[in-house]
A and B are shown apart, each in its own frame.
Chain A
Amino acid sequence: MKGLRAAFESLGDIILFAAETVAWVFRPPWRSELVLQQMAVIGVGSTFIVAVTGLFAGMVLALQGNYAMRQFGAEGYVGGFVAISLVRELGPVFTGLMVTGRSGSAITTELGTMRVTEQIDAMETMAVNAVHYLVVPRVVAATVMMPILAVVFSGMGYLGGYLIADYVSLIPPGPFIEHTRTMLDIHDIFHGLLKALVFGTVVSLIATHRGYSASGGARGVGEATTLSVVMSSVAILVLDYVITFLAIG
């Protein structure tokens, strides 16, 4: 009962924090240089790891798809299966999890350290709102970059699937690409991009909120970082289900 209450209090805190963040997004001064800096850290910095995991995820999908569909003589559909799985599901979810591990944890640690060493208090005393200066650029950057990274993941995954289909499973390129064209439509792409956008916002809000409200020295920062990664990972999987359910019922 006590745990449930704490969970609801924590959720309420994050919702209030999100509302404050959104309110500051639309207030000047605009700090575009900080947003670009964070886009480089969160987005460009994660591109390599997202590309590599995407490549291997696509290769595995092609192998598994071929293994399952061969039994029905439907190997040609592997291309469509790989593309839909990546674009609608694995792209946004895996990208969200990779960004959580790489950037979400770093954001919580950085802001948490700033909080416990009074750097955030110092910023506030200099007439600078810390949510405006520290949180808004990170949330905006993550929201913009997550869909782009999901596209990178899916693109590399499709390439990996194509290579496996062509060189290992010996599926002709023609049916692989043709079935992708017929099975994948624009709604699947919007569906995946919407998920990535939501994950970007939620992951960055959780990461910044945990860091911003950290207390208790180095140990407190460590606990905040662990909690940030756990909460973000769970939130991605829960929201993935909710969005999928709302989209296809």
Chain B
Amino acid sequence: MATIVVRDLWKAFGEKEVLRGIDLSVEQGRTFVVLGASGSGKTVLLKHVIGLLKPDRGTVEVGGLDMSRLQGPALTEARQMFGMVFQGAALFDSMTVFDNVAFPLREKQRRLPFAELRERVVQSLRVVDLGEDVLDLWPAELSGGMKKRVALARALVADPKVVLYDEPTTGLDPITTDSVDQMINNAKERRGVTSMVISHDIASAFRVADRLAVLNDGRIAAQGSPEEVRRSSDSYVQRFLSLWFEKQ
């Protein structure tokens, strides 16, 4: 059963058409990766999935709810099924690591006892290889890789059904990139979450994807399993992937 279904999605900002008729679907418990160069419309697509942007045309359904039509409290309610990791981590800089990770839990379960809240925060941080020593640190005191890991812990702490990742490995060293890939796979295997990953990191994309799409200039140039996309005859896809595969 498909959890995310995008149909004929169009979006323009002024004269600039960013998305031009996107169609895709993500099966429940699977990881779907959207690959593409910078400025190809990947982040705009992701923001439509969670209802941060409204389309000019087309629909986005997640778990049977039309995210492109929902507004106000209904949209807020629908977002309880999501977790999202932003490109720049987007940690609240006026809160400590503990308060950042605890934030979605506090909002979802307002009467959760503090001891249980702390335990779940610590557990979530442990999944991303961070210990209790970071709990009282401020985001400004963390390295780029640590910020990404805290953001990942925050996205997973409230047991979301769908997790969206916006460039989760951009700017990370190879070891941290590998551990982020493992975390995405763990979230899928252990918690059965449906994931949508936006990336231009081809190596990482092929490690985590069940299905892949390559976005070019607002359109999907190729879509399918990693192997199918690799064998695509589309010239842009060939050029996009060949640069990396030749290096290997």
Contacts and interface: CB of A to CB of B under 8 A. Distances in A.
What is the interface of chain B mostly: helix, strand, loop, or mixed? mixed
Nearest to A29: B110
Contacts of B90: 117-119, 121-122
A126 B84 CA distance: 8
Given A118-B88, A121-B86, A121-B90, A126 B52 contact: no
Given A27-B73, A119-B93, A122-B84, A127 B108 contact: yes
Interface in A36-59: none
B107 interface: yes
A119 B82 contact: no
Contact of B107 (A118, A121, A127): A127
Q: With a 10 A CB-CB cut-off, give which of A118, A123, A129 has the most chain B CB atoms.
A: A118
Interface string A120-132: 0111111111000
Interface residues of A, number: 17
A123 B107 CA distance: 10
B248 interface: no
Interface residues of B, number: 27
Counting chain B CB atoms within 10 Å of each CB, the highest count among A114, A117, A121, A125 belongs to A125
A236 B245 CA distance: 64
Given A27-B73, A119-B93, A121-B52, A127 B80 contact: yes
Nearest to A110: B94
A38 to B, nearest CB: 12
10 closest Cβ pairs, A-B complex: A122-B90, A127-B79, A118-B90, A125-B84, A127-B80, A126-B104, A118-B86, A129-B76, A128-B107, A119-B90
Given A117-B90, A119-B93, 16 more contacts: A27-B73, A114-B92, A117-B88, A117-B93, A118-B90, A119-B90, A123-B92, A124-B76, A125-B50, A125-B52, A125-B84, A125-B164, A127-B78, A127-B104, A128-B107, A129-B76
